[in-house]
Amino acid sequence: MRPVILSDPLPPLFEELARGRFDVQPLDSHATDIRDDVTGIVTYGHPAINGKVLDRFPKLRVVSNHGVGVDHIDVAAATQRGIPVGNTPGCLDAATADMTMALMLAVARNVVIGDRFARGPEFTHHDPSLLIGQEVSGSTLGIIGLGRIGTEVARRAKGFDMRIVYHNRNRRPDLEKQFGLEFRTLGDLLRESDFVTLNCPLTPETTGLIGHEQLKQMKPTGILINMARGPVVRTDDLCEALSSRQIAAAALDVTDPEPLPRDHPLLKLDNLVIAPHLGSASGKTRRRMLEMTIQNLDAGLLAQELPWRVR
């Protein structure tokens, strides 16, 4: 008999890699029925997995997260119930750092606006005065969150001859030496940086980290890139700062809420680039994420130590 696994929607590759070993059924985190046939949960789309949800499944053995961020999972509640939680650290660092640089370049050099203009009826001759952007090379980058992904962003930024300052919960002297980084308080980083990238996890400390007061400290020419989680930035405050041109522009791979309502004022701004949460969306990375997700799932179902357990 195949183990019953609950999951929010996953790509067809999951079934291919799992080779039909699981009976995968939809996960509804708002349901209240008790089910003693469920032994595993796979989650990716960030439904809330809290104590109330876990208590619906008395025979649950594992929660396997298809991704790194587990802010939607109450890990402490799972641990109290003896249910291990796994994630996929390390495999998506490069892809997410690539996307950070892609958004930085896109918003700085008006790639999205330029694409629309080049396709439109107004583009009938070249005008060298149009869509003058900001230089990325040689500018100052402020990285908030110098974990695995932030480190990969720094590695790429060095290739653009950027001066790099960073803010992190703990100083990283090893990386300061390796990449020539300079540690800053959050306020000093915001004041000095031409580009600010958010590469931190969502925690109680980082929720709402960037709001009205922080945006006021940025340069009028400053550009904010959020590759972390939507709630790290206060959406209404960012909308106001962009609308008033308090900062020059922003690029978001994540939003709060996600997705934004289709009539949200942010979607009408021309100094904002938004991607639909594409940080890890490369074929190589997504395949490796699924492989790790399944390995964690298999281990949990066999009551073995998870290869990548969240502590």
Does 135 qualify as catalytic in the annotation? no
Q: Which of 46, 61, 167, 277 is catalytic?
A: 277
User: Among candidates 309, 308, 301, 291, which has minimal Cα distance to 57?
Assistant: 301
**Per-residue buried b or exposed e for 16-40, using 16+ beta carbons within 10 Å of the residue's own CB:** eebeeebebeebebeeeeeeeebbb
Its sign, for the CA torsion 278, 78, 40, 33, is negative
Partners of 144 in the β-ladder? 167, 198
Q: Are 67 and 280 in contact (CB under 8 A)?
A: yes
Token reading at 89: 């650290």
Q: What type of residue sits at position 150?
A: G
Its sign, for the CA torsion 90, 256, 71, 33, is negative
Residue count of the chain, please give it: 311
Token reading at 148: 């695995």
Identify each DSSP E strand in the chain by its residue range: 4-7, 23-26, 38-43, 62-65, 85-86, 140-144, 163-167, 182-183, 195-198, 223-226, 249-252, 272-274
Q: Are 248 and 220 in contact (CB under 8 A)?
A: yes
**Measured CA angle at 77 (ends 73, 83), to 5 deg:** 85
Does 277 qualify as catalytic in the annotation? yes
Partners of 206 in the β-ladder? none
Does 229 qualify as catalytic in the annotation? yes
Residue 69 burial (CB count, 10 A):
15
Q: Which of 167, 172, 229, 234 is catalytic?
A: 229
Q: Which of 258, 288, 291, 309 is catalytic?
A: 258
Token reading at 166: 């960073």
- Give catalytic residues, as residue numbers: 229, 258, 277
